[in-house]
Chains A and B, each alone.
Chain A
């Protein structure tokens, strides 16, 4: 062991050299090839820097002149968020029970999981355009969209909580001869309630954010106001709306964090 050892190499991250080089070259090749073949109109992009100047020039100072419109849009977003949270959370409870492996029989379990996966996989904006086509423009499409969005998150988290509960309490209730729903109310609800309240508040906050977005495709709320302002090149009004959206999101995030900390 005493021969002069004066070289050292860090052991590579991927031990097998063939796989290592395949991964490196693959990644490099992907970025070069895709980067080179992307359909990009460079002249139009270069043009953009001038436009950016004009847009930001037009956006400053932000205009709060039509604050009536802004407030109406916001109240509508708030209503959408409240109703969607209510509906979404109520629907999440049965779906979460369906999707909890320890309480639901297998076919129902798969159905519950399927509903959650579908609700989670589609971005609210996609859900929104479908609802807009089905039930028309306006806040109702927004509410339906965010109900789906809420189910995707709340039902998933709640199902995970139900799967973690202490089953001894359920057995104790069953042993006392309690009927099915009494068992659920006395042995399972108390265990999932704190999580459920936390999730509800989080989801209200989350729905308020999302409601600003689904409006862009016609589902009501402040997003619709913003999309209109953009469409009419009213960049100063659009900036005002964006500032208000950011402000409200920060406030609602703060409030929801505070409440969850007190409950938690």
Chain B
């Protein structure tokens, strides 16, 4: 279970990007976060695995408080959080197998990592997952030779190799064409079911969010203003999520404060 309470993120002395945000994700649900650019979706995701340092608040994953972790403890916690990126973030000049195994780096010795001597069970698991998503034949191919959809599959397998307790996906389909994009969304949904894994997806495409996820969270300028089943996302809710400007929200804040 992921439990976020009163999360604030502020860059420098400016307006907070996340404003006292609360969110709880239980079980193996697939949750999508929608909202216009700059709503803080990406920051929220990166606060969870601490690629971005939260300013205040608490994030708890299965009983572990993440915001206070340092050094080795933080790395150990990150192993339990898989992440899929918009730009795939693969190491282009390494083979697909090396990219996939880099999800296990936190578990294996430095020597094994450098010599590429991966444990047998890791290799078996990698082949299973690669076969599951249909990229096993590329194990020895360099990552930059693959198509966008194939690259994102490598990204997904890398995240799953971590044996995560939650999967974060930051706009996983924004760099893909519509057909591939649906395939990847379907894959994420199916894998969540098969591996009993909660998945949290940032997404721009509302149609995909409705079709492939169990719950939609709508963000506007650092706040969650919608949180319900996809079926309840009506036109009115859509308007409130995608309208307004940070400035308008700020003046509302002032009114509320006075």
Contact = CB atoms under 8 A, between A and B. Distances in A.
A/B contact in complex, CB under 8 angstroms: yes
Interface of A: 1-2, 4-11
Interface residues of B, number: 15
B116 A5 contact: no
Interface in B99-138: 116, 118, 120-121, 123-124, 126-127, 131, 136
A10 B113 CA distance: 12
Contacts of B145: none
Nearest to A7: B123
Nearest to A8: B123
B118 A8 contact: yes
Interface of A: prevailing SS: loop
Nearest to A2: B131
A6 B121 contact: yes
Nearest to B121: A6
B140 A5 contact: no
Interface of B: 95, 97-98, 116, 118, 120-121, 123-124, 126-127, 131, 136, 139-140
Given A10-B116, A11-B95, A1 B136 contact: yes
Contacts of A5: 123-124, 127
Contacts of B120: 6-7
A253 B118 CA distance: 49
Nearest to B141: A11
26 contacts: A1-B131, A1-B136, A2-B131, A4-B124, A5-B123, A5-B124, A5-B127, A6-B120, A6-B121, A6-B123, A6-B124, A6-B127, A7-B120, A7-B123, A8-B97, A8-B118, A8-B123, A8-B126, A8-B139, A9-B116, A10-B95, A10-B97, A10-B98, A10-B116, A11-B95, A11-B140
A225 to B, nearest CB: 50
A4 B123 CA distance: 10
Given A1-B131, A8-B118, A8-B139, 11 more contacts: A2-B131, A5-B124, A6-B121, A6-B127, A7-B120, A8-B123, A9-B116, A10-B95, A10-B97, A10-B116, A11-B95
A87 to B, nearest CB: 47
Contacts of B123: 5-8
Nearest to A5: B127
Contacts of B121: 6
A6 B123 CA distance: 5
* Closest 3 pairs (CB-CB, A-B): A6-B120, A6-B124, A5-B127
A5 B126 CA distance: 9
A7 B120 CA distance: 6
A9 to B, nearest CB: 8
B138 to A, nearest CB: 12
